[in-house]
A = this chain, B = another copy of it.
Amino acid sequence: MSHGIELIRRHVAEYIEQRDGHKANWQDICLTAGASTGIKHVLELFCNEVDCKPTGIMIPIPQYPLYSATLTEFGIGDIRYYLDEDNGWALNISELERAFQEGRKTHAVRAIVVINPGNPTGQVLKRGNIEEIIKFAHEKKLLIFADEVYQANVYDKDSKFFSFKKVMTEMGSPHNCVELASFMSISKGYTGECGLRGGWMELCNIDPAVQENLYKAMSAMLCPPTIGQIVVDCVAKTPACGEPSYELWNQEKCAILESLKERSVMIVKAFNSMKGFKCNMVQGAMYAFPRIELPEKAIAAAKAEGKAPDVFYAFKLLEQSGICIVPGSGFGQRPGTYHFRTTILPQKPLLKEMLDIFQNFHKKFAEQYA
Contacts and interface: CB of A to CB of B under 8 A. Distances in A.
A200 to B, nearest CB: 16
A178 B197 CA distance: 35
Nearest to A74: B47
Contacts of A225: 33, 195-197, 225, 227-228
B36 A220 contact: yes
30 contacts: A33-B33, A33-B197, A33-B225, A34-B221, A36-B221, A36-B222, A37-B221, A40-B221, A44-B73, A65-B220, A69-B217, A69-B220, A70-B220, A73-B217, A73-B220, A194-B223, A195-B223, A195-B225, A195-B226, A195-B227, A196-B226, A197-B197, A197-B222, A197-B223, A197-B224, A197-B225, A197-B226, A225-B225, A225-B228, A227-B227
Interface string A294-305: 000000000000
Given A34-B222, A36-B220, A36-B221, 5 more contacts: A44-B73, A66-B220, A69-B217, A69-B220, A195-B226
Contacts of A69: 217, 220
A217 B66 CA distance: 10
A262 B227 CA distance: 32
Interface residues of A, number: 25
Contacts of A65: 220
Contacts of A33: 33, 197, 225
A217 B224 CA distance: 20
A194 B222 contact: yes
A32 to B, nearest CB: 11
Interface in A14-41: 33-34, 36-37, 40
Contacts of A73: 44, 217, 220
Interface string A171-208: 00000000000000000000000111100000000000
Contacts of A40: 221
When all copies of this chain in the complex are counted, the total is 2
Contacts of A226: 195-197
Nearest to A216: B69
A233 to B, nearest CB: 14
Nearest to A223: B195
Interface centre among A34, A195, A196, A217 (most CB of B within 10 A): A195
Interface in A224-243: 224-228
A49 to B, nearest CB: 12
Contacts of A36: 220-222
A13 to B, nearest CB: 22
A134 to B, nearest CB: 28
Interface string A327-361: 00000000000000000000000000000000000
A233 B226 CA distance: 18
A40 B222 CA distance: 12
Nearest to A229: B195
Contacts of A224: 197
Nearest to A221: B36
A256 to B, nearest CB: 20
Contacts of A196: 225-227
Nearest to A67: B220
Interface string A36-69: 1100100010000000000000000000011001
A227 B220 CA distance: 22
A307 B225 CA distance: 34
A227 B226 CA distance: 10
A196 B195 CA distance: 12
Contacts of A220: 36, 65-66, 69-70, 73
